[in-house]
Amino acid sequence: MGKVTEPEVMIGVPGYEQPVEDAEKQAGGSLLKIVVSRLNFHYGPRQVLFDVSLQILQRKITALIGPSGCGKSTFLRTLNRMHETVRGTRAEGEVLLDGRNIFDMDVVNLRRRVGMVFQKSNPFPKSIFENVAYGLKINGTMRRAQVAEVVEKSLMRAALWEEVKDHLHKSAYALSGGQQQRLCIARALAINPEVLLLDEPCSALDPIATAKIEELLFALTGSCTIVIVTHNMQQAARVADQTGFFLLGKLIEFNKTDIIFKNPARKETEDYITGRFG
């Protein structure tokens, strides 16, 4: 398939293709998991995303940063079409997952391939085991032994197994906030998604819980592409390979994390990074 080539500096102007090795491009862009082209998003009459284009690299961590209300969460939710659960929303543009437009896919199938973890943990009012097993059960019956095996593996990947292995049948609500969030990650991992979207997963957690989650994200990149929205710049700097900076619905800049934080090309990015505005 050829060598992986680091993308060069890109100025966030719509229409630019991210420079890549030709061979990769001809092989169908297997380096690129998700390709977003000119995504526009409307809440009713109000437009909140303007011509957003970017490419998410396979099995890397991509962070989306920006001030509150800049549209990064809205953008994230478009990637698994969760915006369709709300009335009056309209997305225009192209979002390709492995080359196929997600808007032409069966949405249920899409969401099995692209999982999501929400800002506030939302475990079901069931046991820990039942929470993790939920995705398996609704996506097709599996034998009990198989389910138990996947539940254990998922809890391990979410770095929660040791803490709950003797309490699998206790209510999920008995867990602490950080544990509940890791449970939600395990739940999402159980159906083996190719992409995991995380919407400010640590915003309600203390630093120790946050560190645990960041650690497990690193471990996941071996098997999973990760897109994480965060208002915590340091977090983005710590974990992400690529970072995108959103402002007022526009993608201002998108590049390797190092470049964004050490040598941003746009003044707006620099202002945000250095804290010149909120």
Burial class (CB in 10 A: 0-12, 13-18, 19+), 44: exposed
* Least CB distance to other proteins at residue 74 (A): 14
* Least CB distance to other proteins at residue 273 (A): 26
Burial class (CB in 10 A: 0-12, 13-18, 19+), 52: buried
Residue 97 CA, chain-centre distance (Å), reads 13
Q: Which residue lies nearer to other proteins by CB, 61 or 197?
A: 197
Identify the bridge partners of residue 89 per DSSP, sorted by sequence position: 43
Is residue 159 within 8 A of residue 182, CB to CB? The reply is yes
Which residues touch 206 (CB under 8 Å, ≥6 apart)?
178
Q: Which residue lies nearer to other proteins by CB, 154 or 242?
A: 154
Q: Which residue lies nearer to other proteins by CB, 8 or 258?
A: 8
Q: Which residue lies nearer to other proteins by CB, 180 or 233?
A: 180
**Token pair for 168:** 């699998």
The residues that touch other proteins, with contacts defined as CB under 8 A, are: 5, 8, 13-17, 19-22, 37-38, 40, 80, 82, 84-85, 90-94, 101, 103-104, 106-109, 111-112, 115-116, 118, 120-125, 134-135, 137-139, 171-173, 175-177, 180, 184, 187-188, 191, 204
* Least CB distance to other proteins at residue 166 (A): 20
* Least CB distance to other proteins at residue 93 (A): 5
